[in-house]
Chain A
Amino acid sequence: GQNIDQPTEMTATEGAIVQINCTYQTSGFNGLFWYQQHAGEAPTFLSYNVLDGLEEKGRFSSFLSRSKGYSYLLLKELQMKDSASYLCAVRDGDYKLSFGAGTTVTVRA
């Protein structure tokens, strides 16, 4: 089975930066995804990493270290609309996605 860990909750102030960490242990590795999920809605795709390093996409960046089984999602210039759950998901050797339980980020004014 897969083991994916991420913090349950984080709180930050509007305009600040928040880093959400994800550690994983999987049988095989074919990429790591981050999804955003607002309350009562479907998850939506944010980023994908398969090689080590940083991928930047506007205010959001995602980092991967395969040797350490570690990723983080960096949210910059936080806005109220960024209040949501952020899901870390790892694609294993069979190309199946396993999800972490999600990190709920609350942005305060």
Chain B
Amino acid sequence: IAGITQAPTSQILAAGRRMTLRCTQDMRHNAMYWYRQDLGLGLRLIHYSNTAGTTGKGEVPDGYSVSRANTDDFPLTLASAVPSQTSVYFCASSESGGGTDTQYFGPGTRLTVL
């Protein structure tokens, strides 16, 4: 079934640990995105990639890094997790990143940093 998968579904992490959230899409979309969703704040863009090999910073990039080695995968890494990174993380993808492009979201990863 075409779509976006994320792993893990949920994770409890000790502060200071390194963590990589995985995202894979099989729709051959060029653009991919990482958002965090916090109560009362809505979805906020962390990082994005308009095409394989390129990445850009969103609204809240500090403490996070991404890579885009190929079209399908867009992992998000927390180098040293802090409690303020407790959130639900959504990966999304879209065909091109422009025009009438619609973003499609993965099921999310619920991360708790203690």
Give A residues with C-beta under 8 Å from B: 1, 4, 30-31, 33, 41-45, 48, 50, 87, 89, 95-102
Closest to A4 in B: B42
Closest to A43 in B: B105
Q: Is B97 an interface residue (CB 8 A)?
A: yes
Give B residues with C-beta under 8 Å from A: 33, 35, 40-45, 48, 58-59, 90, 97-98, 100-108
Can you list 29 A-B contacts with CB-CB less than 8 angstroms, sorted by A residue number? Answer: A1-B59, A4-B42, A31-B100, A33-B102, A33-B103, A41-B107, A42-B105, A42-B106, A43-B43, A45-B102, A45-B104, A48-B102, A87-B42, A87-B43, A89-B43, A95-B98, A95-B101, A96-B45, A96-B48, A96-B58, A97-B33, A97-B45, A98-B59, A99-B35, A99-B42, A99-B43, A99-B44, A101-B40, A101-B41
In the assembled complex, which residues on chain A have CB atoms less than 8 Å from the CB atom of B108?
41-42
B107 touches A50 (CB 8 A): no
CB distance from B45 to the nearest CB of A (A): 6
In the assembled complex, which residues on chain A have CB atoms less than 8 Å from the CB atom of B105?
42-44
B42 touches A101 (CB 8 A): yes
In the assembled complex, which residues on chain A have CB atoms less than 8 Å from the CB atom of B44?
99
In the assembled complex, which residues on chain B have CB atoms less than 8 Å from the CB atom of A41?
107-108
Beyond A43-B43, A43-B90, 6 extra complex contacts between A and B, CB < 8 Å: A30-B98, A33-B102, A41-B108, A43-B105, A97-B45, A98-B45
With beta carbons under 8 angstroms apart, the residue of B42, B101, B106 that contacts A100 is: B42
A77 to B101, alpha carbons, bound, how many Å? 29
Closest to A47 in B: B102
In the assembled complex, which residues on chain A have CB atoms less than 8 Å from the CB atom of B48?
96
